[in-house]
Amino acid sequence: MDAEDDWESSSGGVTDTDQFNDEDFYSTSACLSKLQFRSDVSKAKWNVEMGMAEVIEKKGKMWITTGIVRNGKTFCLIEETLFLAEIGALLVMDDNDECLALKDIYKKISEERNGCNWELFEVYKHLKSLGYVVGRHGVPWSIKGVKNNSKPCSSQGTIQNNRVEGAEENGITCTVQMLSNLQVDELRLNFDVYLPNSKFRKSSPGDPAFLLCLVRGSPPANAKSEVLERECGGIPLKICHVDHGRVSFFSFKRVELPILP
């Protein structure tokens, strides 16, 4: 019998009607953020060399599922930083203690550094808006949980992890050079996605509900998809695609074709 991979749409709990559709990302995002009036606004300082924001004042329950913890400090990756800034939950300061405008953070995303681009941010924003817990694949939420995790980290996770640990132990050294080898267009596992969970713990997050890989254009070849599935270690793999702000999710299903007489 012949085996064939079926490129089928699979929301994984996300329906078509729920999908984020943004025709004018800049203006819509800016307008939405201006409408957010919150009393529990946190503060963070953007570190240019690290490519992350160090949280200096935490308010609200969002930090249960947002940010990575290193040596008692919380750091936000670029996608987390922009998402929180857009909903008015985070003020991001620069080295001069001046508040960064949204357009300044948008520019950082558009530079496609630190392993994130516009499409990945839209995927992150879409899932977080639906209540999912989303973390960068290969980047431990907390060092406390690393010892209990026997799964190997991806090269991306190793780079990101070394960046934060290097900042703690030796200051920020060689991180920009390390990240220069990380290509956002590379087909790889991008996010670990967990179901909404009020009891989520960064020190022991457990296995994600599925792993997410962003593709641009056509779906990956069978050989590449099989490599990605092996990297998942038995955790379901979903492929996502972004088209003009519309986020779609797919999964592969192997089917057996009957032998024709």
pLDDT tens-place string over residues 97-113? 999 999 999 999 998 87
Q: Are 62 and 84 in contact (CB under 8 A)?
A: yes
How many Cα atoms sit within 13 Å of 242 on the Cβ side? Answer: 21
Q: Is the pLDDT of residue 160 over 90?
A: no
Cα–Cα distance for residue pair 249/8, rounded to 1 Å: 9
Q: What pTM did the predictor assign?
A: 0.74
Query: Helix crossing, 78-86 with 25-34: angle to 10°?
Result: 60
**Bridge-partner residues for 74, per DSSP?**
69
Q: Say whether pLDDT at 172 is over 80.
A: no
Tell me whether residue 131 is exposed, middle or buried, using C-beta atoms within 10 angstroms of its C-beta: 0 to 12, 13 to 18, 19 or more.
Answer: exposed
pLDDT in tens, 59-77: 999 999 999 988 888 999 9
Structure tokens at 223: 């050989």
- Say if residue 42's pLDDT is above 90: yes
At residue 7, the pLDDT reads 45
